[in-house]
Amino acid sequence: MMRTPISVTCDDASVREKLEAWVRRCGIVPPNKLSFRVMIGSPDTHKGSRRVFRQPAVEIRSGPPDCGVHISWVTAPAIASIPGGSSEASVVLSPTATSMMGTCVETFLITVLIFLLRRAGWHHVHGATARDPQGRGWLIAGDARAGKSTTAALLASRGWPVGTDDTAFLVDDDERVSVKACHGPIALRKGGYTLLGRNVGELLQRRQKMAVWPEDLGATWLPSVEPDMLLFTTVGDRVSKAEPIGAREALTELVRWSAWVVLEPELAQEHLDLLTKLAKQAQGYRVTLGRDLFDHPNRLAELIP
Amino acid sequence: MSVCYKQHPELRLTEVEGEGVVLHLGTRRYFSVTESGLILLQALETPRTFDELVAALLEEYEVSEAEAANSAREFIDKCLESKLLLEEE
């Protein structure tokens, strides 16, 4: 069995096996050991630290007394704490949470993993990754409505290696910044899935999206890429457009899509420095994604010379 | 006793294309600052008086003392408004 530096301990063998399978599937190999210590029980509510972020189904608290992060799942009782400086996440899952492990992993535990990976110098950015036929690395950053998943699926369907449609991690590889991808299915909304015109994937009931693996679209998985291109996308109407931007503008966009940069003071500068290095390393573009891409996905590569 | 200014401890700075991007971890806001603004913020890693900030600008730019003082005052006021600086006696 393949070993991963992310270990899982849990007295419940069934939960442990599911979590280990998920961690292996993610394909993430950080440079130092990280761990999930999972207990099944009744989670206490977090006290003391202030709520700093609320995203769908997940609440994040941070700050004194321990300066770590505390993550709560809203869908079913579950909490996680990562104290400042620690490389272990203490997780308490209620029996209700364990009865819906697929959703728990997809929304709650992935957030815990994102914060745990910060302790290994891997900093999250909302971005899709791909490599174009010329061998150039692409990072496509933006929010949930920016067209990242549809673009990743389109590029995968044309045989471009694709890493992720959203969960990417910036890593300092000395000379360059590389972006590691969490291996998972691309989550497509109904419109994008229909236009893609492929009869593959499975329905994610709760999110009303179709989950399609890049491999099912003919792509190979790309675990790591050194971005040469940064695309900040919005979804437009008919015709796609791209406009180059400078490094400072690219940096402010990266900060926007790498929201955890403002949490945990001892890690914030390292995270900001990585974003800066990436903004200097790659050429940024502001891109409007049009419907023309469904007929001509390679038009994106033509727009980015 | 003259007033000193210093960076808010929750600021993180970076430089790109000669300009700065500033994060405020407390308010979770970020700002762009000009090259001269970045020089002033970097100088403010340690407490500085207004006159010391004007001197920092004069060292970098060929401007009159009045122009440097105007720039420094305008920058300090904006930073105080956005809670990027602390003021102390």
Query: Domain locations in chain A?
Result: 6-118, 123-303
- Tell me the residue range of the domain where B57 lies: 4-82
B25 found inside a domain? yes
Minimum CA–CA partner of B18 in chain A = A248
Tokens of B75: 């920058």
Please enumerate in sequence order all residues whose Cβ is within 8 A of that of A103, keeping only pairs 6 or more positions apart, or say none.
A75, A206
* A60 HSE (CA, 13 A, CB side): 23
Give the pairing type, strands A227-235 and A137-141: parallel
- Quickly tell me which residue has 């109407």 as its tokens: A237
B34 found inside a domain? yes
The pLDDT of residue B55: 95
C-alpha–C-alpha distance, residues B16 and A276, integer Å? 7
Give the pairing type, strands A34-40 and A6-10: parallel
Across chain A, what does the average pLDDT equal? 91
B33 found inside a domain? yes
SS (H, E, C) A213-248: CHHHHCCCECCEECEEEEEEEEECCCCCEEEEECHH
Domain count for chain B: 1
C-alpha–C-alpha distance, residues A183 and A267, integer Å? 25
| Nearest CB neighbour to A255, from listed B15, B17, B30 | B30
Contacts of A260 in chain B (CB under 8 A): none
B87 found inside a domain? no
* A276 close contact with B: CB closer than 8 A: yes
B35 Cα to chain A: minimum distance (Å): 12
pLDDT digits (tens, 9 = 90+) for A59-99: 998 876 667 899 999 999 999 999 988 999 999 999 999 99
Contacts of A263 in chain B (CB under 8 A): 25
> pTM for this one?
0.91
Assess contact for A252 and A261: CB atoms under 8 A. no
B51 found inside a domain? yes
Contact across the interface for A276 and B15, Cβ inside 8 Å: yes
Sign of the CA dihedral running A127, A67, A4, A40: negative
Assess contact for A268 and B25: CB atoms under 8 A. yes
Contact across the interface for A275 and B12, Cβ inside 8 Å: no
Q: What is the interface size between A and B, counted as CB pairs within 8 Å?
A: 43
B88 found inside a domain? no
- Options 3.50.50, 1.10.3470, 3.30.160, 3.40.50; which CATH number does A123-303 get? 3.40.50
Is the pLDDT at B45 greater than 80? The verdict is yes
Residue B59 CB neighbour total at 10 angstroms: 10
Contacts of A280 in chain B (CB under 8 A): 16
Would you call A27 helix, strand, or coil by DSSP? Answer: coil
The CATH number of the domain where B9 resides is what? 3.90.930
Assess contact for A179 and A231: CB atoms under 8 A. no
**What angle do helix axes B65-81 and B50-60 make, rounded to 10 degrees?**
120
How does residue A110 score in pLDDT terms, banded at 50, 70 and 90? very high
Tokens of B84: 């990027």
C-alpha–C-alpha distance, residues B10 and B83, integer Å? 10
C-alpha–C-alpha distance, residues A151 and A53, integer Å? 28
Assess contact for A194 and A162: CB atoms under 8 A. no
pLDDT digits (tens, 9 = 90+) for A178-234: 999 999 999 888 877 777 777 777 877 666 788 899 999 999 999 999 999 999 999
pLDDT digits (tens, 9 = 90+) for A230-248: 999 999 888 999 999 999 9
Assess contact for A10 and A39: CB atoms under 8 A. yes
Assess contact for A98 and A12: CB atoms under 8 A. yes
